[in-house]
């Protein structure tokens, strides 16, 4: 367990509950843990979510990259990170072989609240359902505490009849995740750039027309777009990112996006291809 900024005890646990942590859906959900709870977590991320319209708290690069894959997947409706298993005692009937003492504060003797990295709401042909995913570095799976926690989570979600699995860095297509990260912020920050919704719609339409009409690299097209329309440098690249993020044009997300060499034909751009299978787990 990572060292907490404040000592863990029953009062702290009750404080988290009173704050509403672990409750809500969509924009109203509050994760059980956030980055302010820890003195240092290395490369943490706070990302505004497409699906939820709220800030997500992510503690590792692996969590962040998997989050981007979930954002890109059309079947995903909601993403709840660090979801607490508050009713674990009632849900897990078969406790034989589980060592809950590993997850108890040594000083206060208060049990830590075990959480699953992501509880994901998905929609498919059969309707709306849920899947749970624990994100781990592969090396963590060699540790007794990690394996014990995984078994507790497995039994919990099995009792809930919710599909659960572990995802490591080996399961994540890094190029796709990095491409999504590259375009991710463009979808909703146009107002911060001084554009209205009408502006971004107008610019997107104009740039898309140029992309379909000209058999040129994206770099050449956005250069002409900025020059002919008298836009500031960087505007064309931003609008191009927006077109990808809003899925108005298609590119191969399995390849690194290189605007210096990327050429998009009309048939490619209008027939967007989803990247499937990103919510699979071992």
pLDDT in tens, 87-103: 999 999 999 999 998 99
CATH of 10-172, one of 3.40.1350.10, 1.20.1250.20, 1.10.10.10, 3.30.200.20: 3.40.1350.10
pLDDT at 171 (0 to 100): 96
For 243, phi and psi rounded to 5 degrees? -65, -40
Mean pLDDT along residues 238-252: 95
| Domain formed by 175-270, architecture | Orthogonal Bundle (1.10)
Q: Give percent above pLDDT 90 in the chain.
A: 80
Where does the chain hold its CATH 3.40.1350.10 domain(s)? 10-172
Q: Which of 182, 180, 201 is nearest to 190 (CA)?
A: 201
Are the beta carbons of 37 and 4 closer than 8 angstroms? yes
Q: Is 111 exposed, middle or buried (0-12, 13-18, 19+ CB in 10 A)?
A: middle
């Amino acid at each position: 367990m990572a060292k907490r900024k404040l000592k863990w005890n029953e009062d702290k646990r009750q404080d988290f509950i009173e704050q509403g942590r672990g409750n809500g859906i969509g924009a109203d959900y509050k994760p059980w843990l956030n980055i302010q709870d820890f003195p240092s977590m290395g490369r943490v991320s706070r990302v505004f979510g497409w699906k939820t319209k709220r800030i997500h708290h992510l503690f590792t690069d692996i969590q962040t990259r998997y989050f981007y894959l979930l954002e890109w997947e059309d079947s995903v409706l909601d993403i709840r990170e660090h979801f607490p298993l508050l009713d674990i005692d009632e849900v897990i009937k078969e406790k034989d072989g589980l060592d809950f003492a590993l997850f108890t504060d040594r000083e206060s003797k208060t049990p830590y609240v075990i959480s699953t990295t992501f509880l994901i709401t998905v929609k498919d042909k059969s309707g709306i359902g849920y899947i749970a995913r624990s994100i781990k570095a592969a090396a963590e799976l060699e540790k007794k505490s990690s394996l014990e926690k995984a078994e507790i989570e497995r039994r919990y979600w099995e009792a809930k009849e919710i599909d659960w699995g572990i995802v490591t860095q080996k399961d994540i297509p890094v190029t796709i995740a990095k491409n999504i990260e590259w375009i991710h912020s463009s979808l909703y920050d146009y107002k911060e750039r001084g554009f209205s919704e009408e502006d971004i719609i107008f610019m997107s339409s104009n740039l898309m027309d140029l992309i379909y009409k000209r058999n040129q690299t994206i770099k050449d097209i956005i250069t002409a777009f900025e020059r002919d329309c008298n836009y500031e440098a960087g505007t064309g690249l931003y609008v191009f990112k927006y077109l990808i993020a809003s899925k108005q044009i298609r590119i191969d997300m399995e390849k690194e996006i290189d605007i210096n060499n990327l050429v998009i034909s009309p048939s490619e751009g209008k027939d967007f291809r989803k990247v499937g299978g990103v919510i699979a787990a071992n």
